[in-house]
Amino acid sequence: MTKVLETRLEIDLTALETNFKLLKSYLSPETKMMGVVKAFAYGTDSVIIGKHLVKIGAEQLAVAYIEEGVRLRKAGIKAPILVFYPQLEDIQNLVDYHLTPSVYTHYFLTGLCQELTHHAVDSFGIHLKINTGLNRLGFELNEMDSVVKHLDSEKKIKVAGVFSHLAASGNRDEIEFTKTQIAKFKEARSFFKAHLKYDFDSHICNSSGILNFPEAEFDMVRAGIALYGYGNNPKEHQLLKAVASLKTVIAQLRTIQKGDSVGYERMFRAEQTTEIATLPLGYADGISRIFGNGKARVLINGKKAPIIGNVCMDTLMVDVTGIECDEGDEVEVFGKHNTVVDFDSHQQTIPYEVITRISQRVTRVLV
């Protein structure tokens, strides 16, 4: 009788809480924590994670797009939610669901004010995004005067926050660049404090910033990847606990002989008698083809098994020669005992990409 269970992504809230408490230990007691739950909470489940983060003390949450914030509101989450990349075509939902937009262009600010007028909204909070060196989004420092003038003409808008984003806070070779970003942000913060005449939250630290630049915590920090158990360098990986564990089972075992091939395009050819296990997950589940042909390893009964041949849409094959295993045995693709860094044995990408790519057809299980 087979022991086959479905492929699943296990979500460990105890690990989430451990990471949250660790990050909080780096901060002053009064510093607020914003939990980033964009992209389905980094590939897990934004509602489950968002609710628990608020429960354990996160004052605010952040998402990428308005529809992500709407999902959290519909689930009953009432905490402030910052939307990093709001789109004008969905701006009515931004207003209706009391989401806080990041504003980084005059174009969006004008469109937002027009919508507020249409809905007869008298006061609405925003966070101003300032570019200090990432050069992705944000007002430039030389635009601050024009931003204040625009705000003065739009009395409905209240600045609830001013923020920026560190480009390389986890890279020890870029400490001076990060310090330059922090200095620029301090300049912007001081400018808006002088001109707005009311309080707002200031935040620039991401996960690595929290761990490496305590002088930049300001009023609030944004915790993203570290909450889920990963960072940007080995030190951070050692401190944190994996929240998500991708597990599956052995669907079939077979023995192939020298010269036999495995998978599409026959990319693997056996040099000796080889034991092969087929696992029921593939690139449609988020395991990219870049991990085929020996570029990643899964954990089976305490031993590492490399992926061989090309990853298929719904399946992949691993070499289990010398590993005692049976059909139906559990496989940890990545998780507590085989971290994303261990799985991606050739370091072809970053943990962010691996965990956020796990598709929604993989069942999420709370453990």
Indicate which residues carry an active-site annotation. 38, 264
Half-sphere exposure of 114 (CA within 13 A, CB side): 9
Q: Which of 209, 224, 139 is nearest to 174 (CA)?
A: 209
* CA gap 124, 122 in Å, rounded: 7
Is 136 annotated as contributing to ligand binding? yes
Cα dihedral 253, 256, 262, 267, rounded to 10, equals 140
For 10-21, letters b (16+ CB in 10 Å) and e give bbbbebbbbbbe
Is 313 annotated as contributing to ligand binding? yes
Show the tokens assigned to 159. Answer: 């600045």
Q: Which of 60, 124, 62 is nearest to 96 (CA)?
A: 124
The residue type at 160: A
Specify whether the backbone of 87 is left (phi greater than 0), alpha (psi in -120 to 50) or beta: beta
The residue type at 240: L
Which residue positions form the known binding site? Answer: 136, 313
Which residue positions form the known binding site for substrate? Answer: 136, 313
